[in-house]
Amino acid sequence: MSTESNPPGFTPTGTIAQVADQRRVIFATVVGTTVEWYDFFIYAASAGLVFGTLFFEQAGPEFAQILAFITVGISFLFRPLGAFLAGHYGDKIGRRPMLVLTLLLMGVATTLIGVLPTYDAIGIWAPILLILLRVFQGISAGGEWGGAVLMAVEHAPKKRRGVFGASPQIGVPIGILLSSGVLAIMAVIAPGDAFLAWGWRVPFLLSVVLIGVGYWVRRRVSESPVFEEIAERKEEARMPIVQLFRKHLLLVIVAAFVFAGNNAVGYMSTGGFVQRYATDPEGAIRLDPAPVLWAVAATGVTWLVFTWLGGWISDRIGRRNTYIIGWITLALALLALFPIVNLGTPLSLFFGVGLLTIGLGLTYGPQAALYSELFPASIRFSGVSISYAIGAIIGGAFSPTIAQALLQATGNPWSITVYLLIMVALGLVATLLLRDRTGIPLGPEHEHVQEKSPIYGMSKA
């Protein structure tokens, strides 16, 4: 079938080879991002459960847990570096090479954490090395997301970008499901002191197997058709990041706040705060770790469903409308979160966090397509990666730390609810500032259309 008559951004689905290629892309982006986020979330959950005791005990009981959560946030500060590097080279040499490199970097860092001596063994070098490896995880995560979503969206038929773009997004809920599930199994196999001694290490070491699978899958995927067209035309941007900030700085900031609202709420579970809140021996609930981890793992299923549904809905009613529905749903769920969780059972924990995943999915599933449609083709990798990385810093980087500090300062979880509602409100405002660009052509021959500002009040020329 000839593709010459098809509009840019449309990938025909009429041949077996084309359908097979699209399926490989979806499978590869799901598997790859699942591996990345499994690694990332294993750290965050372990920070909530054991790192305060094992690596920061010298700080005393008041500050050890806060320091452990700070290390979760520190990695976010290095996401922009990963986004800059992967964005620059992704716009110059291709999307696929960056995906393979970021996957390998994440896997090596995660595996090394699994064999890292604790503070009792090597003193101050233990937290220093832990933070260094977490930095490498942050660099990898900063470069990973942009490449994965562009591979998915730029391979997609124009009317199915939301669904295709949701494929790398569901790597997040699958990652939280796997990481929490594996930790829960280890909490049963090696309970109590055994979990502190060695049980927590096993999920980190399992990353070796996952990295092998992810690497094999990603090597089999063809390069993005949009980048192939850019390369064929020899229109790669010389300095894509410079062009991005010179022409689209305000757009990067607005897009970052769209993600920040979602990310701040999402990191209540993926950042380890809920796990710590529910298992804290000095807290109000004081559940055992295993049922808490199983409950959080189960919310990964609901998050997955609504993330995919968010992408699907956005193909029908537009990205902007889907986001607005998601923000309202998320705000209502936040009001119910702690009253439900404080009922003090694993089931109530599941329902409280599970309600959040409805709004989280509706404001995360369409994000890949939304971001891809905001930026011109020649600087798109840089645009989506850097917006995502900055949004992660504003939103999720220190949200577990802020939540823990608010709880210790006030003794009341409603202070956390107010903080998260403010973040959701900022995400809603940022969304309302953007025009809906659902279905805009993505190819390089339409950069004159893509260059028009999607921000209300800005010139369309």
Q: How many Cα atoms sit within 13 Å of 293 on the Cβ side? A: 22
Count CB neighbours of 143 within 10 A: 32
Lookup result for tokens 């950069």: 447
Measured in degrees and rounded to the nearest 5, phi and psi for residue 220 equal -90, -5
State how far the Cα of 31 lies from the Cα of 17, in Å rounded to an integer: 21
**How would residue 308 be classed by pLDDT, with cut points 50, 70 and 90?**
very high
Task: Judge whether residue 360 has pLDDT over 90.
Answer: yes
Query: Max CA-CA distance within the chain?
Result: 68
Q: What is the pTM of this model?
A: 0.82
Closest by Cα among 123, 101, 159 to 442: 159
Lowest-confidence range among 8-22, 128-142, 229-243? Answer: 8-22
For 322, counting Cβ atoms within 10 Å of its Cβ (0-12 exposed, 13-18 middle, 19+ buried), the class is buried
Classify 22-450 by CATH class. mainly alpha
Question: What local confidence, expressed as pLDDT, does residue 7 receive?
Answer: 37
Question: How far are the Cα atoms of 24, 259, 364 from residue 323, in angstroms, in the given order?
Answer: 28, 11, 8
Lowest-confidence range among 45-54, 257-266, 299-308, 414-423? Answer: 45-54
**How would residue 65 be classed by pLDDT, with cut points 50, 70 and 90?**
confident
Question: Helices in 220-288 by DSSP H: which ranges?
Answer: 225-232, 240-270, 273-279
What's the mean per-residue pLDDT of the chain? 86
State how far the Cα of 169 lies from the Cα of 319, in Å rounded to an integer: 15
User: Domains of the chain: which residue ranges?
Assistant: 22-450
- Structure-derived torsion over alpha carbons of residues 64, 66, 71, 72, reported in degrees to the nearest 10: 130
Question: What local confidence, expressed as pLDDT, does residue 366 receive?
Answer: 96
How far, rounded to the nearest angstrom, does the alpha carbon of residue 27 sit from its chain's CA centroid?
18
Lowest-confidence range among 19-23, 33-37, 144-148, 164-168? Answer: 19-23
Asked if 144 and 86 touch (Cβ cutoff 8 Å), the reply is yes
Task: Judge whether residue 240 has pLDDT over 90.
Answer: no
- pLDDT over 70, % of the chain: 92
Mean pLDDT to the nearest integer, 328-348: 96
Task: Judge whether residue 8 has pLDDT over 50.
Answer: no
